[in-house]
Amino acid sequence: MSETILEAKGLKVHYPTKRGPIHAVDGVDFDLQIGETLGVVGETGCGKSTLGKSILGLLPPGTEVGGSLKFRDRELLKLRPAEFRKLRGEEMALIFQDPMTRLDPLMTIRDHFLETIHVHRAELSKAEAIELAAEALRSMGIPRSRLNHYPHEFSGGMRQRIMIAMAVVLKPKLLVADEPTTALDVIVEAQILDILRDLKRAYGMSLVLITHNLGIVAEVCDRTVVMYAGKFAELGSVNDVFKKPIHPYTQGLLASTIHLETKELRSIDGLPPSLLSPPSGCRFHPRCTYAKDICVREEPAMIEYRPGHFAACHFGRDFV
């Protein structure tokens, strides 16, 4: 029997601005099982990173958050900052997109680890913390001798491995990876993905993988959710979503990917809408070739068209 480790119901994340709230995440429902990998895909500005940061409680002060977000049946949205800091690193962790901007250039890698470990394991001696750090680095293929080096002395791929090692040094049960392979070449990218798979098996972790790369989702994830303008357009198993997409937006994303049989480039006309004033009805209707009057007037509900396969489209039955 699978067990739910993370569950969201009606989750909303709005950023206040002088021009009004930005509806970055606007009422989404999902769950994540223990040991499962959920891929989150969509164009830039659709709310993917905000969704990931909301799980870790890393939103800016003043952000309006609503709905429910539970980790192991514990309501995260009601936690005080100190309680959230206790969870981060020990129970859940985040791999950032660009390690060079997240690692302090004036600190050695050893000092980065010591700072992280002592926040959660104050009872450990310095020698014990260093041993823990060396073990985490070794699992990433980085020798202990590199502990005293600075971030600029590593390649981009090695810096990303260090970020992953820091995220998993305390063996959290939930890992959120926000574009973990951005700007890496395909060989290093494959190595990072292999590392994430190995970590899942070794520690029994659950993984939320945020990415633009549909190929990565097809290779690594069990289920995927397609986000558009702060909402979920489609949710289902990787096999169902990739082979039998229901939502026109998902169809457009998949048609835009390049593979060995590609003979012409395709794209989705237009741009994602402003999240300050999202379109009425279905938020994809200004770019959708199938849009009718009802798409402008009414917001479509997420409907289960196949077991475990949901889509928010008024004409979803036409694509099943």
Task: State pLDDT tens for residues 267-309.
Answer: 899 999 999 999 999 999 999 999 999 999 999 999 999 999 9
**Extended strands (E) in 16-161:** 22-33, 37-41, 64-71, 74-75, 92-95
pTM over the 0.85 mark: yes
Report how far residue 55's alpha carbon sits from residue 69's, in angstroms, rounded to the nearest whole number.
8
User: Token match 């990876």: residue?
Assistant: 177
Task: State pLDDT tens for residues 244-261.
Answer: 999 999 999 999 988 777
Domains identified in the chain and CATH numbers:
4-319 (3.40.50.300)
CB crowding 98-113: b at 16 or more within 10 Å, else e: ebeebbeeeebbbebb
Task: Give the per-residue pLDDT at 1.
Answer: 43
The pair of structure tokens assigned to 69 is 């977000």
Q: Measuring CA to CA, which residue among 30, 26, 31 is closest to residue 47?
A: 26
Provide φ and ψ at 102, rounded to 5°: -105, -20
Task: Give the per-residue pLDDT at 276.
Answer: 95
Report how far residue 44's alpha carbon sits from residue 35's, in angstroms, rounded to the nearest whole number.
27
Task: Give the per-residue pLDDT at 266.
Answer: 87
Decide the pairing of beta strands 74-75 and 303-306.
unpaired
62 by Cβ neighbours in 10 Å (0-12 / 13-18 / 19+) ranks as exposed
Report how far residue 74's alpha carbon sits from residue 280's, in angstroms, rounded to the nearest whole number.
34
Below-70 pLDDT ranges, the chain:
1-2, 99, 183
Report how far residue 217's alpha carbon sits from residue 231's, in angstroms, rounded to the nearest whole number.
19
Task: Give the per-residue pLDDT at 2.
Answer: 60
Report how far residue 217's alpha carbon sits from residue 207's, in angstroms, rounded to the nearest whole number.
12
Task: Give the per-residue pLDDT at 272.
Answer: 93
